[in-house]
């Protein structure tokens, strides 16, 4: 609890004790009772009375403070001292619960505010000088000591350390940084001293943009919030005028009919009507749920720019993805090596050395896969053949490395890979040596994220990419994406989104998920833009939701959370309206004559307070929201298991290695692989031309004789089985 909340709690306790004591005290004198009950009333209600007066002064008369003031003062004037105090007491209890709930939800959001840096260190004549981050120019070298916040985005020029990024990403695992690494503002330096060359001004840094996002998120209200605001604007005056009519009209009618006026009775009913009609639960039902949802999202590294976007997210039935950098790593790596008449390492050696002088990303991928220092003295006569590849002398051997066109140019027959990707064919001394496949690696959680979206009720997942059709189709098939469009320019992506928007239902929304760099037009055009990546400028500016951890699983997490928020709102509204539908007629006395039912102000205040407490407690449940498929440890394990399935035997499977003679090319490999796959009881087959072997996984009863027969029928000789 905050100091303010604790103060209210103490007031509630003191007022409750005094109220109970004075109710039990045998005091009959009205004046003395009046003075005594004014003490707990002043203790518990002075702030409400003050707000009511200020509201009248500023022209904002009809609010819950005015209702409480009129109801309690009216009860006291009628001699119901205990009831007047009790009404205010129950109201304050409800307000305390509401304040506590808001504070808990705000805690996750306000934690972001702690990332605001107070200063930046600049080194002058060997001494550190603290300056305002706004005064630091781009390109300035700043010093961040252990325990300090990184004030401005930049690149590490000196030092090595670990950074706490939890305030930005929600991740508790520290990030290792060293010279040359880019770091963003808002992180906390945990260990070593860092020198950072700033790449942005403070106002353009990540921390500033995020803080601006959070501070302005409440301005973008949902349609539901706006409706309740408009409703309350008319509801409260209507309640006040109805209470006045309830107090006056029956009395006037009684006088006209010659009956007793019963003014006191109808005043009491009017006061009870005022109390029970207080729109507290109704007014807070929607904003508190949205606030809890935004706070819960922030704790998970999901920044939502306003409640309206949570509402749109809950209605999203079409999720469109960019491929490169979103579904895939956006970094090309060697994914397959298929040598002929040499070992894999030897093939990679020739390719890496031939490409050693090139700065092309493909060349970089080859050198990274080789992972050894390249001795350039071994390479001579390097020639880049535009659009084809390179030729070079490596250790005295003539090496060609490039695409299929290069192999045709030198009149060498090359194998065609089955998998999609960029193929580097290698020829050594006029003979085909094999190929190396380079492809964009799929992110470890992409497949689980697509599955999670389908489980969350998404109707269709779509992938848009500028890559070739074969590559795009391969990635989409592996991930389980429903629809794919390839070979698109940025403008083409927007057109495809327009087409999809035209096809969807009126109440269905389309969300686009991109990396926030080259996808700004698509992020802006979609009903909802979701940016992947930790705080890039375009991500924060163009998207409606930013996933700070860059984890695709957070897309399904956000959708599930948004739907929980909407369910929570519906539950709160149901309770608030049912409470009013039942309570208001009883308070007005409509059920007194037929059923003898009536309420006094104290019971009405208790019912009103209970309604607020229920709504608040229900909204608080969002703090413990848990999404499916969000355990990073589990998904990492699943990813590894899935990738290793083809290579490692499972607990319930048996592995055998077949040594085979007669295989001389990749076609031979295909023949053997096909023959073995046709046998029932074999789950996986991996044939190696270099090792002259086939590794198989058995999930059924397959005899050695059956294996031998299958290999020999294919035209090859089975030497042994291990």
Structure confidence by residue, pLDDT tens digits, 373-405 = 888 888 899 888 877 888 999 989 999 998 888
Confidence label for 636 from pLDDT (cuts 50, 70 and 90)? very low
> What count of other Cβ atoms lies within 10 Å of the Cβ of residue 646?
12
Distance CA 54, CA 76 (A): 22
Pick the more confident residue, 548 or 630: 548
Pick the more confident residue, 618 or 538: 618
CB 436 within 8 A of CB 347: yes
Confidence label for 233 from pLDDT (cuts 50, 70 and 90)? low
For residue 218, the model assigns a pLDDT of 44
CB 466 within 8 A of CB 484: no
Give pLDDT tens digits for 641-669.
444 443 343 334 578 888 888 876 666 77
Give pLDDT tens digits for 419-448.
767 788 999 999 999 999 887 778 888 888
Max mean pLDDT among 258-267, 334-343, 423-432 falls in 423-432
For residue 4, the model assigns a pLDDT of 78
Distance CA 184, CA 476 (A): 32
Average the pLDDT over each of 52-61, 103-112, 529-538, 708-717 and give the range with the smallest value: 103-112
Distance CA 212, CA 303 (A): 12
> For residue 379, which of 359, 400, 395, 361 has the smallest C-alpha distance?
395
Pairing mode of beta strands 483-485, 460-464 = parallel
Average pLDDT over residues 469-495: 83
Instruction: Map 444-465 to HEC letters.
Output: CCHHHHHHHHHHCCCCEEEEEC
Distance CA 463, CA 263 (A): 72
- Interior CA angle at 684 toward 683 and 685, to 5°? 135
Give pLDDT tens digits for 277-296.
665 556 666 777 777 787 77
For residue 290, the model assigns a pLDDT of 77
Give pLDDT tens digits for 18-76.
988 988 888 878 888 889 989 999 998 888 888 888 888 887 766 667 767 776 777 67
CB 245 within 8 A of CB 273: no
For residue 443, the model assigns a pLDDT of 83
DSSP type of residue 443: P
Confidence label for 157 from pLDDT (cuts 50, 70 and 90)? very high
Asked if the model's pLDDT at residue 122 lies above 80, the reply is yes
CB 54 within 8 A of CB 47: no
Average the pLDDT over each of 2-6, 39-43, 574-578, 585-589 and give the range with the smallest value: 585-589
Q: Any idea which residues carry the catalytic annotation?
A: 322
Q: Residue 701 burial (CB < 10 Å; 0-12/13-18/19+)?
A: exposed
For residue 639, the model assigns a pLDDT of 43
CB 553 within 8 A of CB 630: yes
For residue 630, the model assigns a pLDDT of 44
Confidence label for 215 from pLDDT (cuts 50, 70 and 90)? very low
CB 321 within 8 A of CB 463: yes
Distance CA 652, CA 120 (A): 59
Average the pLDDT over each of 198-212, 348-362, 455-469, 558-572 and give the range with the smallest value: 198-212
Give pLDDT tens digits for 487-522.
776 668 888 888 998 888 888 899 998 875 557 777
Distance CA 670, CA 674 (A): 6
- Within 338-385, residue ranges assigned H as helices are 344-354, 361-370
Backbone angles phi, psi at 18, to 5 degrees: -65, -40
Distance CA 340, CA 413 (A): 12
For residue 320, the model assigns a pLDDT of 92
Asked if the model's pLDDT at residue 111 lies above 90, the reply is no
| Mean pLDDT of all residues belonging to the chain | 77
pTM equals: 0.56
For residue 359, the model assigns a pLDDT of 67
For residue 481, the model assigns a pLDDT of 92
Characterize 329-349 residue by residue with b for buried, 16 or more Cβ atoms within 10 angstroms of its Cβ, and e for exposed.
eeebebbebbbbebebebbbb
Confidence label for 591 from pLDDT (cuts 50, 70 and 90)? low
Percentage of the chain lying above the pLDDT 70 cut: 75
List % helix, strand, coil for the chain (3-state, nearest 5): 50, 20, 30
């Amino acid at each position: 609890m905050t100091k303010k909340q604790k103060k209210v709690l103490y007031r509630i306790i003191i007022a409750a004790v005094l109220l109970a004591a004075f109710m039990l005290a045998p005091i009959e004198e009205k004046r003395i009772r009046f003075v005594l009950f004014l003490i707990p009333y002043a203790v518990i209600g002075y702030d409400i009375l003050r707000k009511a007066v200020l509201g009248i002064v500023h022209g904002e008369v009809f609010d819950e403070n005015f209702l409480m003031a009129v109801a309690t003062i009216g009860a006291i004037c009628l001699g119901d001292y205990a009831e007047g105090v009790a009404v205010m007491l129950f109201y304050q209890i409800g307000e305390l619960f509401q304040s506590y709930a808001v504070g808990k939800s705000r805690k996750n959001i306000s934690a972001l505010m702690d990332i605001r840096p107070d200063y930046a260190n600049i080194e002058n004549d060997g001494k550190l000088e603290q300056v305002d981050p706004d005064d630091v120019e781009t390109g300035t070298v700043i010093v961040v000591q252990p325990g300090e916040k990184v004030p401005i985005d930049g690149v590490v020029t000196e030092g090595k350390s670990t950074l706490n990024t939890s305030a930005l990403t929600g991740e508790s695992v520290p990030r290792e940084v060293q010279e040359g690494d880019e770091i963003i503002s808002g992180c906390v330096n945990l260990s070593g001293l860092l020198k950072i060359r700033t790449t942005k001004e403070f106002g353009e840094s990540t921390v500033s943009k995020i803080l601006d996002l959070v501070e302005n998120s409440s301005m973008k209200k949902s349609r539901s919030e706006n409706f309740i605001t408009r409703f309350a604007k008319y509801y409260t005056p209507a309640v006040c005028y109805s209470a006045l009519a309830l107090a006056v009209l029956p009395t006037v009618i009684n006088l006209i009919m010659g009956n007793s006026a019963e003014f006191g009775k109808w005043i009491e009913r009017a006061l009870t009507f005022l109390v029970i009609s207080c729109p507290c639960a109704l007014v807070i039902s929607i904003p508190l749920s949205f606030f809890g949802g935004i706070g819960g999202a922030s704790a998970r590294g999901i920044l939502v720019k306003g409640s309206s976007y949570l509402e749109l997210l809950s209605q999203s039935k079409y999720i469109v993805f960019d491929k490169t950098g979103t579904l895939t790593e956006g970094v090309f790596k060697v994914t397959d090596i298929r040598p002929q008449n040499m070992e894999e390492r030897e093939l990679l050696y020739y390719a890496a050395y031939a490409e050693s002088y090139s700065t092309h990303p493909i060349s970089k991928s080859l050198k990274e896969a080789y992972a050894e220092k390249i001795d350039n003295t071994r390479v001579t006569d390097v020639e880049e053949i535009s659009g084809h590849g390179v030729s070079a002398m490596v250790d005295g051997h003539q090496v060609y490395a490039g695409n299929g066109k290069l192999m045709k140019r030198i009149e060498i027959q090359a194998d065609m890979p089955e998998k999609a990707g960029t193929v580097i064919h290698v020829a050594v001394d006029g003979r085909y040596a094999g190929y190396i496949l380079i492809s964009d690696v799929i992110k470890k959680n992409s497949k689980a994220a697509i599955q999670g979206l389908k489980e969350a009720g998404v109707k269709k997942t779509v992938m848009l990419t500028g890559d070739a059709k074969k590559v795009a189709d391969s990635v989409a098939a592996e991930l389980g994406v429903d629809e794919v469009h390839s070979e698109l320019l940025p403008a083409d992506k927007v057109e495809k989104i327009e087409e999809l928007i035209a096809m969807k239902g009126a109440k269905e929304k389309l969300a686009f998920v991109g990396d926030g760099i080259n996808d700004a037009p698509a992020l802006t055009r979609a009903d909802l833009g979701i940016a992947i990546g930790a705080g890039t400028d375009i991500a924060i500016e163009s998207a409606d939701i930013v996933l700070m951890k860059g984890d695709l699983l957070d897309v399904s997490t956000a959708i599930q959370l948004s739907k929980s928020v909407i369910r929570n709102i519906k539950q709160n509204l149901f309770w608030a309206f049912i409470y009013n539908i039942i309570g208001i007629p009883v308070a007005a006395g409509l059920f007194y004559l037929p059923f003898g039912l009536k309420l006094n102000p104290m019971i009405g205040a208790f019912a009103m307070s209970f309604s607020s407490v229920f709504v608040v407690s229900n909204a608080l449940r969002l703090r413990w929201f848990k999404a499916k498929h969000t355990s990073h440890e589990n998904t990492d394990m699943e990813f590894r298991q899935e990738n290793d399935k083809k290579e490692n035997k499972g607990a319930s499977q048996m592995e055998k290695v077949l040594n085979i003679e007669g295989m001389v090319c990749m076609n031979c490999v295909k023949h053997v692989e096909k023959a073995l796959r046709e046998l029932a009881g074999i789950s996986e087959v991996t044939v190696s031309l270099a090792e002259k072997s086939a590794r198989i996984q058995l999930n059924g009863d397959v005899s050695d004789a059956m294996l031998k027969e299958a290999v020999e029928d294919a035209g090859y000789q089975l030497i042994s089985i291990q």
